[in-house]
Structures are given as C-alpha cells and as structure tokens.
Structure 1
Amino acid sequence: MGVIADPHSNLPALKAVLDHMPKVDQIICVGDLVGYGAEPNEVVETVKSKDISSVMGNHDHAAVTGKVSSFNPYAAKAALWTGEALTNENREFLENLPREVKFKEGKWEIYMVHGSPRRPLTEYILPGISNQDLVRLTKEINADVVILGHTHVPLERRIMGKLIINPGAVGQPRDRDPRASYMVLKLGRKLDVEHKRVSYNVEEAAQKIMKAGLPEELATRLNFGW
C-alpha cells in the first residue's frame, strides 16, 4: 500500500512520487491535496484518476470554505487563491472528503486522519512527541495502523500494539530534505513500512508558484525542505 500526504498542489512532486513508487495494490493520501502550490486542479485530477483514497486536510477545508483566520499570511493567500482557481467539480470533490477513515486490509485495521484523532484537521503530532502523549492521543482508536499527515515530517513509532506513521510531505517537505517523501506499507503476516524519498523538478514547481502570483516564500522554501 502506498501512503502519501500533503501534495499541496505540487504536481511535479506528486508525479515523481507516483512514478517512483513500487507497484502497490492501492494508494491512500492523508490530506492536504491543495494549498501552497500552483496546480490544485491538476493534483486533484491526478488523485481522482489514480483512485487514491484521501481524507480532508486543513488546507483542503480552507480552500473550499474560505476560512483562513488560523493561517499565516502566506498560507492564507494561497488558500484563497486556490479557492478561486478550483473548478466546481474539484471543489465538490474536496468538500466531500471525509475527515477520518477506518478500513480493513486483510487482518489489519487501518485508521487515517490528517491531524490527530482528537482534532482531525489541525493538531500536529510531531516526531518529538512523548510515548505517553502519543498513547493518550491514539488510545481510543482501535486499529493496528494509525496514519497521520499535517506536519510534513516523517514519523514511525510502534507503541502499545500500534504502528503509527506519517509519510512526510509529497509537496512541501519540512524536515530539511527537499525531496518528496512517501511510505510503502506492507501488510503481510507482519506489519512493515518503508520510508522513501525521490527528487523532483523543484525549479518547475517554484516557477509555477511565482507565475501564479503566489508568495515568493512558498517557492523559495521548496529548495530547502523547510
């Protein structure tokens, strides 16, 4: 199973990940298809064409509602621009994304949410979280695998019988590695996960951001993975 998160309207990064990913039975996305980048419609169309199951992220929500009061100025401008750029069909697709999903694959129960089970759209669960806090946040989730996004930083932790992962960001990594990040989840007799990185044409994505009139900072940060 391919696991991606936070494409953020970065089509070159998403294409690179999909080309690099080994053959898998399905691909899931932990939200934020749009925001920051310059190709929201193209990213949504790609997700639909590849039948990638996704949950809603906070930027998806902001783009379709216009509610950006919690965003920094750059993110807010990008979200409002995205809302204007979306086709009606793609806006409806984002509006209908669930905030959390639970499903079964073989004998394994899988739960995915963009932020956290407590606050699906907005809470950050970063790699530095203590085991105690991580247990507290996930103890009510009856699943073997808990998949998170939102932080743009990869995470893999096994605790209290659960595998908790964050694949990092496809479209805007923030772990100081500018390569697109994703994971492959192996659901055999035992659970295993591989974290993968792939280079993509950062300059192409950055130039598209500039051409769209979006904040220059959103283009510059792609080069630094921050």
Structure 2
Amino acid sequence: MDKKIAIFSDIHGNVSALQAVLDDIDRDPQIEHIYCLGDLIGIGYETNEVLDLLRSRKDISYVMGNHDEAILDVISGRDIYSRGAEREHHKWLAARLDPKFISFLQEIPTSLQTNYNEKELLCVHYHLQEPKKFLTVDKEPTEQKLDEFYHSSTADIVCFGHHHVIHHFKTKNRLYLNPGALGCNHKPYAPYAILIIAENGATNVSFREVPYDNETFLLGYKKYNVPDADYILKVFHGNQHLNL
C-alpha cells in the first residue's frame, strides 16, 4: 500500500502560517503522518501559540532545531550559540515561553528514523557533524557533497530544513529533501512538501505553497517590540510590512 506523508520545517513562531499548512494537510485524508524538521520557535514571536497548536495534534513527529535548542539553553542557564542581537532575541523569547511547554521541547530528539515500504527515512534539522552539532549551512549544496556526507548512512531518504530554501536532490544512493521554511518567506506563502512512497518503493515528491494572511503577524514585530525586528523583517520576510 502506498504511504503518503507531509513534511515541513522552520515554523519559526508563525502560527498563522502553521495553521494554513495544517488546514491544507487536513484536506487530504490520505496523508497519514506529518514530520516537522525543527525550529518550531525562534525568529517569530508567537511561541506559545505555535506550541499550543502543535501539541494539540497527535499526528506529528519532531526533531530539534537550533533555535529550539537555544531557547532551551537560555531557560536551563547553559551557554547558547547565538551572540549579539540574536542572543538578546533568544533571551526575550525564552522569557515569554510558557513553562508548560518546556518538557515538550526537551523531549524532542535531534534526529529520528522510520521506515515506509522498506525505505528508511532519516529526519534531521540539518546535517549533524556530531550528535548535537549542526554543520554550517552550505549555500551551494550538490548531490555529490550530500552523498559524500551521508556515505555511511543507511537512509534511503534524508529530510532536513534549516537552510530556508527548497532542496530536492536524487542520487543513485538516496533522496534528499528540504521543504523550505514554513514560517519565513518573502511572500505570504507557507511551503511544505508531500512525499509518497509507493508499495514498490518508488518515491514521488511534490511541493506546495499555501497562501495565508500574514499582515497581523508582520505588524506584530513592531507592536510587541520584538528584539532585532528590523533585521528579521528584512532578511526573513523581505520587508513585506512596508507595503501594508
């Protein structure tokens, strides 16, 4: 029997984008499970709203993202990777995280593996140099570089996020898939991917962009005095707020 799953990544505290994608997924009864590839929170400010929506579902599996980890590190008093304005942003978000979500975040694994129709699926937020250390983003990925990094992996399909653009590489060894950033886009669209693994092991990938109203979300960065708002609105949202 064919297996159909949805994959999204990098929600980044944007609950309206998340809701739009979940509504789109729910319109397809053949989708049997959802995989979220990390960075549930961070950058966007709707931390508790996103976590409340995610935790209300029983059909999503998660892996830990760097922003999720950074905010947990702040709460635990550990040193965090971020510096300067990004560190202040993480501290601001951590101070506003409802404590009831801490255990939920702490239980998220760094990677997960599962199997559909004899195809092994590996989910990570990004390529792991060691159990909890992500590689620096490769802005010019190639099939050859990905195969070299995963040469010892038994996975047939590797799903990752972190780099906010779509990746779709197919080599003789495996399929590599990045669905793009659900919550950070220069247009009012929220992307995700659908993966079908046929009974005979053949794979089919489709990418969707779900339109949604992002006006309230974008204007909220200034309304709530989110640290580093100007930088975030420019780099992660393409200054769309200037046209509202």
Task: Classify the secondary structure of the residue corresponding to 2:127.
Answer: coil
Superposition map of 1:16-165 within 5 A: 16-21=20-25, 22-23=27-28, 24-51=31-58, 52-66=60-74, 70-71=81-82, 73-119=84-130, 122-124=134-136, 126=138, 128-165=140-177
Aligned to 1:213: 225
Q: Which moved more, 1:1-10 or 1:181-190?
A: 181-190
**1:4 and 2:8 matched:** yes
For 1:95 and 1:12, locate their aligned partners in 2 and report how far apart those are by CA, in whole Å: 24
Question: What percentage of residue pairs aligned between the two structures are identical?
Answer: 28
Q: Which moved more, 1:61-70 or 1:19-28?
A: 61-70
Over 3 Å counting, the alpha-carbon distance change for 1:225 and 1:112 in structure 2 is: farther
For 1:14 and 1:34, locate their aligned partners in 2 and report how far apart those are by CA, in whole Å: 11
- Structure 1 unmatched ranges of 5 or more: none
For 2:21 and 2:136, locate their aligned partners in 1 and report how far apart those are by CA, in whole Å: 24
For 2:233 and 2:100, locate their aligned partners in 1 and report how far apart those are by CA, in whole Å: 27
What TM-score do you get using the length of structure 2 for normalisation?
Answer: 0.83
For 1:100 and 1:202, locate their aligned partners in 2 and report how far apart those are by CA, in whole Å: 31
Does structure 2 conserve the Cα–Cα contact (< 8 Å) formed by 1:102 and 1:109? yes
Superposition map of 1:143-222 within 5 A: 143-173=155-185, 176-188=186-198, 189=200, 190-214=202-226, 215-217=228-230, 218-221=232-235
Over 3 Å counting, the alpha-carbon distance change for 1:46 and 1:108 in structure 2 is: same
Task: Classify the secondary structure of the residue corresponding to 1:118.
Answer: strand
Task: Classify the secondary structure of the residue corresponding to 1:36.
Answer: coil
For 1:89 and 1:15, locate their aligned partners in 2 and report how far apart those are by CA, in whole Å: 21
Does structure 1 conserve the Cα–Cα contact (< 8 Å) formed by 2:10 and 2:183? yes
* Corresponding residue to 1:14 among 13, 18, 26: 18
Q: Deviations over 1:154-196 (max 9, x none)?
A: 10001132110000001113xx555211100111131111011
For 1:104 and 1:225, locate their aligned partners in 2 and report how far apart those are by CA, in whole Å: 41
